[in-house]
Amino acid sequence: MSNTAAFDTLAAVYDRDFAESPVSRWLRERVWSWLEPRFQVGDTAFEIGCASGIDALWMAQHGVKVIAADISPFMLEQTRAKAEAGNLGHLVTPLLFDLNHLPEWHGEPVDGVYSNFGPVNCTRDWVGLGRFLAKAVKPGGYVGLGIISPFCMWETLWHGLHLDFRTAFRRFKRETIATLPGGGELPIYYPSPRQFARAFQPYFQFERVRGLGVFLPPSDAFGVVDKRPRIMKPLIAAETHLADTWPFRTWTDHYWIEFTRGENGP
Ligand SMILES: C[S@@+](CC[C@H](N)C(=O)[O-])C[C@H]1O[C@@H](n2cnc3c(N)ncnc32)[C@H](O)[C@@H]1O
């Protein structure tokens, strides 16, 4: 498996450095407001890149069974421990899973799939992922993926104004090498919503794209806003009202792309 060690190192600091930031929490709650109407009590969901299990636990608290998949055994252990501690262990099944070595789907197809904050950017085999998910999801089922966008207005403006042009334009190459805490490196790919929709087209009906982090900053600038509630308020208002509209929904840190599984099987 690739990437395992790099993400195991990230696991130790993930909640503190990323997930607990007020900006990150606000964006996550926005994703939850999109997921909530798509899953019912008793449904089964497959989560790609569950990290420390925050979304898997939230789903389980809403009565949804979750197969929580990740490449990092440390992340999976955190997910398992949190689920046990919350008496939700019977609803959360951690699964060691590598997007770059997709397995055969052997179980019953699930009601829906979601992936939040960019795990899918760790592969460029979007056609293969679409074929895999076509086997994993029931006809009529839901897929919602949070993908790091190839253009982030905040990142380009902020780093451009600080004369850090390398960071300002890093996504433009559509492929970068990210350095993780502990020094691990891994390639990140930045597909556009159009590329993704085309890759999923044989088996999925494209529904919509939403912006996630258009007016709120990307994670390396969370601190700029986290400590300044006076700035945060108008940015949240803009994010709430404008982030789903064109062209802002494509000038975003992440976009949330939604599909419905069609009737055609692979
Ligand atoms: C930015 S974190 C995801 C965040 C998480 N979904 C959340 O909402 O907090 C990326 C996650 O993707 C996982 N990941 C990275 N490469 C992967 C791969 N090839 N297959 C499966 N998971 C992978 C990492 O271990 C990590 O937990």
Instruction: Give residue-wise pLDDT tens across range 132-163.
Output: 999 999 999 999 999 999 999 999 999 999 99
**C-alpha count within 13 angstroms, C-beta hemisphere, residue 65:** 10
- The domains of the chain are located at 4-261
Per-residue pLDDT at 3 exceeds 90: no
**C-alpha count within 13 angstroms, C-beta hemisphere, residue 39:** 32
Q: Counting Cβ atoms within 10 Å, is residue 205 exposed (0-12), middle (13-18) or buried (19+)?
A: middle
Which pLDDT band, with edges at 50, 70 and 90, does 200 fall under?
very high
Per-residue pLDDT at 183 exceeds 80: no
Q: Tell me how far the alpha carbon of residue 154 lies from the centroid of ligand 1, in angstroms.
A: 23
For residue 72, the ligand 1 atom closest to its alpha carbon is 25
Six token digits for residue 77: 């252990």
**What is the second-level CATH architecture of the domain 4-261?**
3-Layer(aba) Sandwich (3.40)
Per-residue pLDDT at 4 exceeds 70: no
Ligand 1 contact, 53 CB (< 6 A): no
DSSP alpha helix (H) spans, the chain: 4-11, 14, 22-35, 54-61, 73-85, 126-136, 153-161, 165-168, 193-200, 222-226, 229-242
The whole-number pLDDT of residue 12 equals 66
DSSP letter string over 130-166?
A: HHHHHHHEEEEEEEEEEEE-S--HHHHHHHHHTT-HH
Nearest Cα residue to atom 16 of ligand 1: 122
Per-residue pLDDT at 127 exceeds 60: yes
Per-residue pLDDT at 262 exceeds 70: yes
Ligand 1 contact, 96 CB (< 6 A): no
Which pLDDT band, with edges at 50, 70 and 90, does 6 fall under?
low
| Average pLDDT over every residue of 229-247 | 94
Per-residue pLDDT at 112 exceeds 60: yes
Which pLDDT band, with edges at 50, 70 and 90, does 1 fall under?
very low
CA dihedral sign, ordered 201, 203, 207, 209 = negative
Ligand 1 contact, 7 CB (< 6 A): yes
Per-residue pLDDT at 10 exceeds 80: no
Per-residue pLDDT at 178 exceeds 90: no
Q: Tell me how far the alpha carbon of residue 161 lies from the centroid of ligand 1, in angstroms.
A: 30
Q: Tell me how far the alpha carbon of residue 49 lies from the centroid of ligand 1, in angstroms.
A: 4
Per-residue pLDDT at 222 exceeds 70: yes
Which pLDDT band, with edges at 50, 70 and 90, does 223 fall under?
confident
The whole-number pLDDT of residue 5 equals 63
To which residue do tokens 């088996």 refer?
203
| Average pLDDT over every residue of 234-239 | 96
| 223 vs 103, higher pLDDT | 103
Which pLDDT band, with edges at 50, 70 and 90, does 26 fall under?
very high
Q: Tell me how far the alpha carbon of residue 163 lies from the centroid of ligand 1, in angstroms.
A: 30
> Hey, which of 117, 120, 124, 185 would you mutate to test ligand 1's pocket, going by the most ligand atoms within 8 Å of its Cβ?
117
Per-residue pLDDT at 77 exceeds 60: yes
Residue (of 40, 72, 79) closest to 56 by Cα position: 79
